[in-house]
Chain A
Amino acid sequence: MDNLDFVSPEIFISLSIMFLLILGVFKKNSSNIIHNLSVGFLFITVVLILNNPFNENTKLFGESYIIDYLSSFMKILTILGGAFVLLISSRYLKLLKIFQMEYPILILCSILGMMVMISSNDLMVFYVGLELQSLALYVLASFNRDQLKSSEAGLKYFVLSALSSGLLLYGCSLIYGFSGSTNFNIIADTMSSSQYGTTFGIVFVLVGLAFKISAVPFHMWAPDVYEGSPTSVTLFFAIVPKVAALTVFIRFLYVPFINMIDQWQTILIFLSIASMIFGAVAAIGQTNLKRLVAYSSISHIGYALAGLSVGTNEGIQSSIVYISIYLIMNLGLFSCMFMMKRNDEYYETIDDLSGLSKNHPLLSLSFLIILFSLAGIPPLAGFFAKFYVFKSVIEQSMYFLAIVGLLSTVIAAFYYLRIIKIIYFDEEKEKYDTDHGVWLKISLTFSTLLILFYFIFPSKLVEMASRINII
Chain B
Amino acid sequence: MNFPILSSLILLPSIGALFLMFAKEKSNETSNAIKYVALFASFVNFLISIYLWYLFDESTSSFQFIEEKEWLRGFVNYKVGIDGISILFIILTTLITPLCVISVNNTVTVRLRDFLIAILVMESVMIGVFCSLDLVVFYLFFEAGLIPMFLIIGIWGGTRRVYSAFKFFLYTLLGSVLMLVAIISIYWITGTTDIIQLYELRIDTKYQNLLWLAFFSSFAVKTPMWPVHTWLPDAHVEAPTAGSVLLAAILLKMAGYGFIRFSLGLFPIASEVFTPLVYVLSLIAIVYTSLVALMQEDMKKLIAYSSVAHMGFVTLGIFTITQQGIEGSIIQMISHGLVSAALFLCVGVVYDRMHSRLIKTYGGLVSVMPKYSILFMFFTLAALGLPGTSGFVGEFLILMGVFKDNFLVAVIASLGVILSAAYMLWLYRRVVFGKLINKDLLKISDLNNSENFILWCLAIPVLFFGFYPEPLINTIEISIKDLIEMYNFNLNMNMIEVENNG
A-side residues, CB < 8 A to B, are 361, 372, 377-379, 383, 387, 390-391, 394-395, 399, 402-403, 406-407, 409-410, 413-414, 417, 420-421, 424-425, 455, 458-459, 462-463
Give the distance in Å from the alpha carbon of A403 to the alpha carbon of B185 in the complex: 12
- Whether the pair A394, B184 counts as a contact (CB closer than 8 A) is yes
- Whether the pair B181, A421 counts as a contact (CB closer than 8 A) is no
User: Which B residues lie within 8 Å of A390 (CB)?
Assistant: 180-181, 184
Give the distance in Å from the alpha carbon of A209 to the alpha carbon of B140 in the complex: 35
- Whether the pair A458, B71 counts as a contact (CB closer than 8 A) is yes
A358 CB to closest chain B CB (Å) equals 8
- Whether the pair B177, A409 counts as a contact (CB closer than 8 A) is yes
- Whether the pair B162, A406 counts as a contact (CB closer than 8 A) is no
User: Which A residues lie within 8 Å of B162 (CB)?
Assistant: 421, 425
Give the distance in Å from the alpha carbon of A463 to the alpha carbon of B72 in the complex: 10
B234 CB to closest chain A CB (Å) equals 15
Instruction: Identify 9 new A-B residue pairs, CB closer than 8 A, beyond the known A421-B166, A425-B161.
Output: A361-B114, A378-B139, A379-B140, A394-B181, A410-B174, A424-B155, A425-B155, A459-B70, A462-B73
Give the distance in Å from the alpha carbon of A442 to the alpha carbon of B270 in the complex: 52
B275 CB to closest chain A CB (Å) equals 26
Contact of B181 among A361, A372, A403 (CB under 8 A): A403
B480 within 8 A of A: no
Residue contacts A-B, CB under 8 angstroms, 28 given: A378-B139, A378-B144, A379-B144, A383-B143, A387-B180, A391-B187, A394-B181, A395-B188, A402-B184, A403-B181, A406-B178, A406-B181, A409-B177, A410-B173, A410-B174, A410-B177, A413-B169, A413-B170, A414-B170, A417-B166, A417-B169, A420-B150, A424-B154, A425-B154, A458-B71, A458-B72, A459-B71, A462-B72
- Whether the pair B154, A377 counts as a contact (CB closer than 8 A) is no
Given known A-B contacts A391-B184, A413-B169, A417-B169, A459 and B143 have beta carbons under 8 A apart: no
Interface centre among A395, A409, A459, A462 (most CB of B within 10 A): A459
Give the distance in Å from the alpha carbon of A391 to the alpha carbon of B185 in the complex: 8
User: Which B residues lie within 8 Å of A459 (CB)?
Assistant: 70-73
B146 within 8 A of A: yes
- Whether the pair B180, A406 counts as a contact (CB closer than 8 A) is yes
Give the distance in Å from the alpha carbon of A17 to the alpha carbon of B144 in the complex: 47
Closest 6 CB pairs of A and B: A406-B177, A459-B73, A378-B140, A394-B184, A378-B143, A410-B174
- Whether the pair A463, B181 counts as a contact (CB closer than 8 A) is no
B165 within 8 A of A: yes
User: Which A residues lie within 8 Å of B174 (CB)?
Assistant: 407, 410
Give the distance in Å from the alpha carbon of A383 to the alpha carbon of B140 in the complex: 9
Chain A interface, >50% SS class: helix
User: Which A residues lie within 8 Å of B185 (CB)?
Assistant: 394, 399
Given known A-B contacts A378-B140, A379-B144, A394-B184, A407 and B165 have beta carbons under 8 A apart: no
- Whether the pair B140, A417 counts as a contact (CB closer than 8 A) is no
A381 CB to closest chain B CB (Å) equals 12
Contact of B165 among A372, A402, A421 (CB under 8 A): A421
Closest B residue by C-beta to A426: B162
Interface centre among A409, A413, A463 (most CB of B within 10 A): A413
Contact of A399 among B72, B161, B180, B181 (CB under 8 A): B181
Given known A-B contacts A406-B178, A417-B166, A372 and B147 have beta carbons under 8 A apart: yes
Closest A residue by C-beta to B161: A425
Closest B residue by C-beta to A418: B166
Give the distance in Å from the alpha carbon of A395 to the alpha carbon of B169 in the complex: 29
Closest B residue by C-beta to A392: B184
A198 CB to closest chain B CB (Å) equals 33
B388 CB to closest chain A CB (Å) equals 43
Interface centre among B143, B177, B188 (most CB of A within 10 A): B177
Write out, one digit per residue, whether chain B residues 175-199 have a CB within 8 A of any chain A CB (1) or not (0): 0011011001101100000000000
User: Which B residues lie within 8 Å of A417 (CB)?
Assistant: 150, 165-166, 169-170
User: Which B residues lie within 8 Å of A394 (CB)?
Assistant: 181, 184-185, 188
Closest A residue by C-beta to B210: A399
A408 CB to closest chain B CB (Å) equals 10
Give the distance in Å from the alpha carbon of A454 to the alpha carbon of B155 in the complex: 27
B48 within 8 A of A: no
Q: Which residues of B381-436 are within 8 A (CB) of A?
A: none
B153 CB to closest chain A CB (Å) equals 10
Give the distance in Å from the alpha carbon of A421 to the alpha carbon of B188 in the complex: 38
User: Which B residues lie within 8 Å of A391 (CB)?
Assistant: 184, 187
User: Which A residues lie within 8 Å of B178 (CB)?
Assistant: 403, 406
A70 CB to closest chain B CB (Å) equals 20
B484 within 8 A of A: no
Q: Which residues of B144-163 are within 8 A (CB) of A?
A: 144, 146-147, 150-151, 154-155, 161-162
User: Which A residues lie within 8 Å of B154 (CB)?
Assistant: 420-421, 424-425
Give the distance in Å from the alpha carbon of A73 to the alpha carbon of B209 in the complex: 43
Closest A residue by C-beta to B151: A424
User: Which A residues lie within 8 Å of B146 (CB)?
Assistant: 377
B427 CB to closest chain A CB (Å) equals 31
Closest A residue by C-beta to B182: A394
B458 CB to closest chain A CB (Å) equals 31
User: Which B residues lie within 8 Å of A399 (CB)?
Assistant: 181, 185
B145 CB to closest chain A CB (Å) equals 10
Given known A-B contacts A379-B144, A395-B188, A421-B154, A407 and B177 have beta carbons under 8 A apart: yes
Give the distance in Å from the alpha carbon of A227 to the alpha carbon of B169 in the complex: 30
Closest B residue by C-beta to A390: B184
Closest B residue by C-beta to A455: B140
A418 CB to closest chain B CB (Å) equals 8
User: Which B residues lie within 8 Å of A372 (CB)?
Assistant: 147
Q: Which residues of B97-156 are within 8 A (CB) of A?
A: 114, 136, 139-140, 143-144, 146-147, 150-151, 154-155
- Whether the pair A377, B143 counts as a contact (CB closer than 8 A) is yes
User: Which B residues lie within 8 Å of A414 (CB)?
Assistant: 166, 170
Give the distance in Å from the alpha carbon of A131 to the alpha carbon of B99 in the complex: 64
Closest A residue by C-beta to B140: A378
User: Which B residues lie within 8 Å of A361 (CB)?
Assistant: 114
User: Which B residues lie within 8 Å of A409 (CB)?
Assistant: 173, 177
User: Which B residues lie within 8 Å of A420 (CB)?
Assistant: 150, 154
B171 CB to closest chain A CB (Å) equals 10
User: Which B residues lie within 8 Å of A463 (CB)?
Assistant: 73
B288 CB to closest chain A CB (Å) equals 27
B92 CB to closest chain A CB (Å) equals 23
B218 CB to closest chain A CB (Å) equals 12
A451 CB to closest chain B CB (Å) equals 13
A388 CB to closest chain B CB (Å) equals 9
Write out, one digit per residue, whether chain B residues 281-304 have a CB within 8 A of any chain A CB (1) or not (0): 000000000000000000000000
B184 CB to closest chain A CB (Å) equals 5
Contact of A402 among B72, B147, B181 (CB under 8 A): B181
- Whether the pair A410, B144 counts as a contact (CB closer than 8 A) is no
Give the distance in Å from the alpha carbon of A409 to the alpha carbon of B174 in the complex: 9
User: Which B residues lie within 8 Å of A406 (CB)?
Assistant: 177-178, 180-181
User: Which A residues lie within 8 Å of B177 (CB)?
Assistant: 406-407, 409-410
User: Which A residues lie within 8 Å of B147 (CB)?
Assistant: 372, 377
Closest A residue by C-beta to B174: A410
B211 CB to closest chain A CB (Å) equals 12
User: Which B residues lie within 8 Å of A407 (CB)?
Assistant: 174, 177
Give the distance in Å from the alpha carbon of A410 to the alpha carbon of B136 in the complex: 19
User: Which B residues lie within 8 Å of A410 (CB)?
Assistant: 170, 173-174, 177
Closest B residue by C-beta to A421: B162
B164 CB to closest chain A CB (Å) equals 11
A362 CB to closest chain B CB (Å) equals 9
Interface centre among B155, B173, B187, B188 (most CB of A within 10 A): B173
Give the distance in Å from the alpha carbon of A361 to the alpha carbon of B155 in the complex: 13
Give the distance in Å from the alpha carbon of A409 to the alpha carbon of B71 in the complex: 25
- Whether the pair A377, B144 counts as a contact (CB closer than 8 A) is yes
B260 CB to closest chain A CB (Å) equals 23
User: Which B residues lie within 8 Å of A383 (CB)?
Assistant: 140, 143
Interface centre among B147, B154, B188 (most CB of A within 10 A): B147
User: Which B residues lie within 8 Å of A395 (CB)?
Assistant: 188
A161 CB to closest chain B CB (Å) equals 35
Give the distance in Å from the alpha carbon of A377 to the alpha carbon of B172 in the complex: 12
